[in-house]
């Protein structure tokens, strides 16, 4: 899917961190940015695309709740990746305190963290 401004709105396999090695590299060498609901670990990857990994621990709730958190975080990334400069590997970790938050509750925090990571980028 492509938006009116030419922005890619899909989330393909190439946009994901998939192996434990990729996650470990970001956790060990990446920069950490924290918010109330989400913590980001960010590492430059040297490519022309930003990739996302999600880490949702069992303390976040049962499988249904963890999957909802994943869907919300993935959608927030997909809709706001234009704020980032290309070339980052990002791992989003859900922090404690998630209730029934939806995209509208979490998206402003993710936008703020993305802008903090890439100052001067468009909103």
Beta sheet of 38-44, edge-to-edge order: 31-34, 38-44, 88-94, 51-55
Taking only the tens place, the pLDDT of each residue in 63-120 is 999 999 999 999 999 999 888 888 999 999 998 778 788 899 899 999 999 999 887 6
The Cα–Cα gap between 21 and 59 comes to 23
pLDDT exceeds 60 at position 1: no
Domains within the chain, CATH numbers bracketed: 40-117 (3.30.230.10)
pLDDT, residue 21, reads 96
pLDDT exceeds 90 at position 20: yes
Q: What is the pTM of this model?
A: 0.86
DSSP 58: G
- Give the pLDDT band of residue 7 (cuts 50, 70, 90): low
pLDDT, residue 3, reads 55
pLDDT exceeds 90 at position 14: no
Q: Which two tokens stand for residue 13?
A: 């396999």
8/39: higher pLDDT: 39
pLDDT exceeds 80 at position 37: yes
For residues 48-71, average pLDDT: 92
């Amino acid at each position: 899917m492509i938006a009116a401004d030419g922005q890619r709105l899909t989330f393909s396999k190439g946009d994901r961190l998939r192996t434990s090695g990729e996650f470990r590299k970001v956790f060990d060498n990446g920069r950490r940015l924290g918010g109330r609901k989400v913590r980001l670990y960010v590492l430059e990857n040297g490519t022309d695309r930003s990739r996302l990994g999600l880490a949702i621990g069992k303390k976040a709730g049962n499988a249904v709740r963890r999957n909802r958190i994943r869907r919300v975080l993935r959608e927030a990334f997909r809709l706001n990746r234009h704020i980032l400069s290309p070339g980052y590997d990002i791992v989003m970790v859900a922090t404690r305190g998630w209730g029934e938050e939806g995209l509208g509750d979490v998206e402003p925090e993710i936008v703020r963290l993305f802008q903090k990571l890439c100052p001067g980028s468009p909103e």
